[in-house]
A and B are shown apart, each in its own frame.
Chain A
Amino acid sequence: MPVVDVNPDELRDLTGHDEKSDDELIDDMFALGLEYEGETEDGDLQLEFAPDRLDRLSVEGVARSLRYQYGDDRGVYVPGTNDPDWTIEVDESVPDERPYVTGAVIRGVDLDDHALDSLIQLQEKLHATMGRKRAKGAIGIHDLTMLKGRAATGDGEGGEVGNSITYRGIDPDGDRFVPLDSDAEMTPAEVLRVHPTGETYAPLVSEYDRYPAIYDDIGLFSFPPVINGRRTEVSTDSRDLFVEMTGTDQWTIDHMCNIVCYALAARGAKIEAVEVEYSDRTLRRPDFGVQTKTVTHERIERTLGIDLSAERVLDLLERSGLDAETNEVGDEELAYEVEIPPYRVDVLHPLDIVDDVGRAYGFNDLEPRYPDVGTVGGRHDRSKLEDAAREVLVGLGFEDLLNFHMISEEENFERMRIAPGDDAVGGGDPASILEPYSEDYTMLRTWALPSLMMVLENNTHRAYPQDLAEIGLAAEVDESENTGVAEHRTVAGVLARHDASYEDAKARLQTVARNFDVELETPATDHPTFIDGRTAAVVMDGERVGVLGEVHPEVLVEHDLELPVAAFEFRLDALE
């Protein structure tokens, strides 16, 4: 979940509530779903929240939400935008993989250290969330005064737009610029090789034939989504900014741009539109258009489980920063046409508006009630069988165990003296994990005996006898299954004691078979895990379902055991 650092003084300033203590602010933010996690070294409050309200990824957004909560603001606010002076021309050479761009010009911003930190944080957090680590959307912010626009070529319509920059694709070594945090001129390909930021983001573009690049009249100044040029770096002296965003989806970058513009507007900056000129269309950005969704009164009452008046609903909507009108016409069902501000990225469906109403009302003020719905409960057959078998094993004195289903090939096969594909219990082909995180967990176990041997190995310092049993999942690759994996429950038991013998294991198995009225036969067989001549197949009601025997000394020594172990394993469904 995202964490945002918020300076409490800035928060007081931006909300206009100087009287609020830090603790009061923390409580107020908890009510919004922002959970206080601690303080940074600089005394900022660290707040964690679920990744829906991404417009709260900076102090400005948090302050805006608080002002609605306090009732200082109501309804939708849209900042005005001035007419465009700048154009982003999209050249035909732009990489197919990353064809979209958007932007805005910000004028008269007052960037003190706090404001600049907040802007940088917002940019980083948007990259991490909506931007999918810059893959989907990447933000570049530049000092406008350092840009030299070319006279826009224009599309013949008016041509009064004065300046332009160009988004295009270039050869990886096709041009040079000085990236941020560097003194050297390098090509985009060199940036990926030698610049730390370049190395981090290289996987995003390294497969592209042409690399994304943004030019002004002077030349290359930005290499999205990797790094900006040093020439246009923003500092606390910057007053006018150029914001550009590139990505794989126009909607996503447009909304990231809206969130940045709203944050800067909250600090008194003036937003100026830019024109984005694609070969087939021209967009005016930022797009502060207000979306509308219709939600019925019935839906709100049903989901919240309470009766509300239309006035109350309208009030709650406005306190959520939304605008609404009832559309009551004749016999039509009472509904609300709700306007959603352009910084909201979480409203996909009318029920998201119901959630806003609930939050404004206060979910914890709702009275819980037990639903008056009658149903009959019950256990799954397999789970009942599993419990019955477990009860018999525990009655026989086995300690019931619960091990991981994931295991390593070494534990599952090699240390048990078997190999994948062996015609033996446990020798199935493993369902294996793609690029496993840990070498101890690389596959689903094909049988449970290796897990029990590992428990014995880890408990040699504990009192003997150790009689252990487990009923749990085992799985192997099976092409006849829809998922390609055959999963079954397996029953495994070990008897580790100074005089453990085949007979001890068989005696217990006989009891299990008797309890489930299953005919047990144990014809001699061989299995590498067990001692030859002391190994039998477990045959229940005529079907081979497992193996039984004295564990081979090599397996015992491998597991650091200094006493014999008798063991069995068979399929649970044999007891059905």
Chain B
Amino acid sequence: MKLPESHAAVLNAASADDARTIDQLADDTGFKPETVTGAVFELESEGLLAVEESVEETVTLTDEAREYLADGLPEVRLYETALDAGADADPVSMGQVIGQSGLEGPEVDIALSNYARKGYGAIESGEITTDADADPERDAEADALADLDAGEAVGDEDTLDQLERRGLVTRAESTVRAVTLTDEGVTALMEGVEVSETVGQLTPEMLTSGEWKEVEFAEYNVEADAERIEGGKTHILRQTANRVKDTLVGMGFEEMEGPHADADFWINDCLFMPQDHPARTHWDRFALEEPTKIRDLPEDLVERVRDAHMNGVGDDGDGYHSPWSEEFARSIALRGHTTSLSMRYLSGHEVGDLEPPQRFFSVEKVYRNDTLDPTHLLEFYQIEGWVMAEDLSVRDLMGTFEEFYAQFGITDIEFKPHYNPYTEPSFELFGTHPTTGEMVEIGNSGMFREEVLSPLGVECDVMAWGLALERLLMLMYGFEDIRDVHGTLCDLELLRETEVLH
């Protein structure tokens, strides 16, 4: 029979009638105990060895116990000092005895708490007496410590428990394996066991020399965990953004791009947001202190937008009864929505005049002066999309969004009539959560108003919608706190461990 070296050595060291432990076998063979354990189990499964397991308790002395072995137990030292001070005759002051005993710090408390318990005497009103029957030479706990130190077993469970409570010993259970040769093992040994050559690593030399044909490869424990390594991964919010982009490109949408810091004109005025609208007040937007104003705006467009705000559009149109100033329109702010990009593109000032049909989108950051909490960030990604065509209806809008959300597993879309200053009709979109089944808000949409399109020079219909990408991410991944994912407070562990969706 051919066996790997360690197996052969263990088999040779084992005996049929004298059970050996793993440690003994390791000593005999010179292999590490874990190697021996592996060999023993494999030989057992081949029927060559028998293994019997038993549980053995080991009791180990703590550092504190070793100090007491040298100096004596604190209560014994207290007793002996008290005896020296004559406490067997009359009570002696505690302070005096402790001073003379040399006990310090926590030892004093230990001594006092064990003194009476073990019958060395009494402590009353700050005075100490000794008990005539006490015999420090026969202290069970001290004796047990000495026995353990000498490597002898202690049979008295109560004393052991007491020592464990005092933190003087630790007790641990371990499995001891007793190994014996089986009849088959004896037979194998009698028939002769040869050592097969094994190699750990396949080397370039072995390959070139052909030596690999002669060797046996040492078996690995292929089930053991390997070292953990961190691979790089695209950020999950970015992955979600890319999935949205792929979906929209597939639906014929082209991507837009434009400034994050922009004039209020493009962010709000073109959208027919009255200048005294609550969302345009200081607390909702991030106006810039530096720089303050945009240099150039298309003059004719500014005039048409002003006219729409003041007088409305068309014969029957009314404007807002709000003041409008170009100065305000020129002020720079971080965009509160990427609809500013839609305005730039629709105006013809970004990529030239657009002829219908067109589809455009962006998945870019927007900034809102909101409170930072688990579901709200000061900056987040907005999915923005619009379709420009002759004759678009509310039904086209509904059909487009049903198609888009279906790609993310969100179905049964409901359209709740809504109000936006820049679209009419407008709808809040609700969908069924893919896992919880709840109705959740998934976007805001509508047909751009004439007051938006007419100044921009657009003569056909445009439907548009917006949605926070983070909202889609949270629906898809089930995160509870968006701050763990997006921003400098992110948790690397979460990013590394999050399951990849596809």
Report A's interface with B, CB cutoff 8 A: 33, 35, 50-53, 132, 135-136, 249, 251-252, 293-294, 302-306, 346-352, 354-355, 358-359, 363-364, 366-371, 373-380, 382-383, 387, 390-391, 393-406, 429-438, 441, 444, 451, 454-455, 458-459, 462-463, 465-469, 473, 475, 477, 479, 482-485, 487
User: Which of A293, A346, A433, A451 is in CB contact (< 8 Å) with B419?
Assistant: A346
Smallest CB separation, A568 vs chain B (Å): 15
In the complex, residue of chain B having the shortest beta-carbon distance to the beta carbon of A370:
B399
Contact between A368 and B399, CB atoms less than 8 A apart: yes
Contact between A484 and B295, CB atoms less than 8 A apart: yes
Can you list 6 contacts pairing A with B, beta carbon distance less than 8 Å?
Answer: A349-B449, A370-B396, A379-B245, A431-B291, A437-B283, A459-B490
Contact between B261 and A375, CB atoms less than 8 A apart: no
A406: chain B residues within 8 A (beta carbon) = 286, 334, 367, 378-379
Please tell me which stretch of B46-54, B87-95, B231-239 contacts chain A, meaning at least 4 of its Cβ atoms lie within 8 angstroms of it.
Answer: B231-239
B414: chain A residues within 8 A (beta carbon) = 364
The 3 nearest A-B residue pairs measured at CB: A305-B393, A484-B291, A50-B419
Contact between B416 and A367, CB atoms less than 8 A apart: no
B369: chain A residues within 8 A (beta carbon) = 437
Q: When A438-B372, A454-B488 are in contact, do A432 and B289 touch as well, CB less than 8 Å?
A: yes
A374: chain B residues within 8 A (beta carbon) = 252, 357
Contact between B288 and A463, CB atoms less than 8 A apart: no
Interface residues of B in 250-266 (CB under 8 A from A): 250-257, 259-263
Q: When A349-B449, A402-B235, A477-B290 are in contact, do A302 and B393 touch as well, CB less than 8 Å?
A: yes
Contact between A303 and B447, CB atoms less than 8 A apart: yes
Measured CA separation A374–B259 after assembly (Å): 29
A395: chain B residues within 8 A (beta carbon) = 232
Interface string of B207-228 (1 = CB under 8 A from A): 0000000000000000000001
Contact between B387 and A371, CB atoms less than 8 A apart: yes
Measured CA separation A33–B286 after assembly (Å): 30
Measured CA separation A465–B229 after assembly (Å): 9
Smallest CB separation, A279 vs chain B (Å): 22
Interface string of B291-314 (1 = CB under 8 A from A): 111111000000000000000111
In the complex, residue of chain A having the shortest beta-carbon distance to the beta carbon of B242:
A387
Measured CA separation A391–B286 after assembly (Å): 33
B3 sits at the interface (CB 8 A) = no
In the complex, residue of chain B having the shortest beta-carbon distance to the beta carbon of A250:
B321
Measured CA separation A368–B429 after assembly (Å): 13
B321: chain A residues within 8 A (beta carbon) = 249, 251-252
Q: When A132-B278, A438-B372 are in contact, do A304 and B393 touch as well, CB less than 8 Å?
A: yes
Question: A363-B415, A487-B261 are known contacts; what are 15 more A-B pairs with Cβ within 8 Å?
Answer: A35-B416, A53-B419, A349-B318, A349-B451, A355-B425, A368-B395, A375-B254, A401-B495, A430-B290, A437-B369, A444-B260, A473-B365, A475-B260, A475-B261, A485-B261
A348: chain B residues within 8 A (beta carbon) = 312, 317-320, 451
In the complex, residue of chain B having the shortest beta-carbon distance to the beta carbon of A468:
B492
In the complex, residue of chain A having the shortest beta-carbon distance to the beta carbon of B318:
A348
Q: When A373-B387, A376-B252, A451-B488 are in contact, do A303 and B425 touch as well, CB less than 8 Å?
A: yes
Contact between B314 and A441, CB atoms less than 8 A apart: no
Q: When A395-B232, A397-B231, A455-B488 are in contact, do A349 and B312 touch as well, CB less than 8 Å?
A: yes
B359 sits at the interface (CB 8 A) = yes
User: Which of B249, B296, B313, B427 is in CB contact (< 8 Å) with A482?
Assistant: B296
In the complex, residue of chain A having the shortest beta-carbon distance to the beta carbon of B295:
A482
Measured CA separation A431–B485 after assembly (Å): 26
Q: When A249-B321, A355-B425, A378-B255 are in contact, do A404 and B278 touch as well, CB less than 8 Å?
A: no
Contact between A377 and B249, CB atoms less than 8 A apart: yes
Measured CA separation A400–B228 after assembly (Å): 19
In the complex, residue of chain B having the shortest beta-carbon distance to the beta carbon of A377:
B249
In the complex, residue of chain B having the shortest beta-carbon distance to the beta carbon of A386:
B238
B296: chain A residues within 8 A (beta carbon) = 482
In the complex, which range does the number of interface residues on chain B fall in?
35 or more
Measured CA separation A27–B321 after assembly (Å): 34
Question: Which DSSP category, helix, strand, loop or mixed, fits chain A's interface?
Answer: loop
B418: chain A residues within 8 A (beta carbon) = 33, 50
Interface string of B311-334 (1 = CB under 8 A from A): 011111111111000000000101
Q: When A303-B425, A394-B233, A437-B369 are in contact, do A399 and B495 touch as well, CB less than 8 Å?
A: yes
In the complex, residue of chain A having the shortest beta-carbon distance to the beta carbon of B363:
A383
Contact between B322 and A390, CB atoms less than 8 A apart: no
In the complex, residue of chain B having the shortest beta-carbon distance to the beta carbon of A366:
B395
Interface residues of B in 370-427 (CB under 8 A from A): 372, 377-379, 387, 389, 391-396, 398-403, 414-420, 424-427
A249: chain B residues within 8 A (beta carbon) = 321-322
A479: chain B residues within 8 A (beta carbon) = 291
Contact between A403 and B488, CB atoms less than 8 A apart: yes
Contact between B387 and A434, CB atoms less than 8 A apart: no
Contact between B357 and A375, CB atoms less than 8 A apart: yes
Smallest CB separation, A470 vs chain B (Å): 8
Measured CA separation A509–B168 after assembly (Å): 59
In the complex, residue of chain B having the shortest beta-carbon distance to the beta carbon of A1:
B419
Contact between B402 and A368, CB atoms less than 8 A apart: yes
B282: chain A residues within 8 A (beta carbon) = 434-435
Q: When A33-B416, A293-B316, A355-B424 are in contact, do A390 and B289 touch as well, CB less than 8 Å?
A: no
Contact between A304 and B261, CB atoms less than 8 A apart: no
Smallest CB separation, A287 vs chain B (Å): 14
B292: chain A residues within 8 A (beta carbon) = 484
Contact between B367 and A458, CB atoms less than 8 A apart: no
Contact between A399 and B496, CB atoms less than 8 A apart: yes
Most central of B254, B312, B387 by chain A CB within 10 Å: B254
Q: When A371-B399, A406-B378 are in contact, do A363 and B295 touch as well, CB less than 8 Å?
A: no
Contact between B399 and A369, CB atoms less than 8 A apart: yes
B493 sits at the interface (CB 8 A) = yes
Contact between B396 and A305, CB atoms less than 8 A apart: yes
Contact between B254 and A304, CB atoms less than 8 A apart: no
B365: chain A residues within 8 A (beta carbon) = 405, 473
Contact between A369 and B395, CB atoms less than 8 A apart: yes
Contact between A380 and B417, CB atoms less than 8 A apart: no
B25 sits at the interface (CB 8 A) = no
B276 sits at the interface (CB 8 A) = yes
A444: chain B residues within 8 A (beta carbon) = 260-261, 334
Q: When A397-B232, A406-B379 are in contact, do A383 and B257 touch as well, CB less than 8 Å?
A: yes
Interface string of B480-495 (1 = CB under 8 A from A): 0000011111111101
Smallest CB separation, A3 vs chain B (Å): 14
Contact between A349 and B316, CB atoms less than 8 A apart: yes
Interface residues of B in 107-161 (CB under 8 A from A): none
Contact between A400 and B238, CB atoms less than 8 A apart: yes
In the complex, residue of chain A having the shortest beta-carbon distance to the beta carbon of B251:
A377
User: Which of B293, B332, B394, B486 is in CB contact (< 8 Å) with A402?
Assistant: B486
B426: chain A residues within 8 A (beta carbon) = 50, 355
Q: When A444-B261, A455-B492, A463-B230 are in contact, do A433 and B286 touch as well, CB less than 8 Å?
A: yes
Contact between A377 and B252, CB atoms less than 8 A apart: yes
Contact between A431 and B249, CB atoms less than 8 A apart: no
Measured CA separation A568–B44 after assembly (Å): 58
In the complex, residue of chain A having the shortest beta-carbon distance to the beta carbon of B255:
A380
Q: When A249-B322, A487-B259, A487-B260 are in contact, do A404 and B487 touch as well, CB less than 8 Å?
A: yes
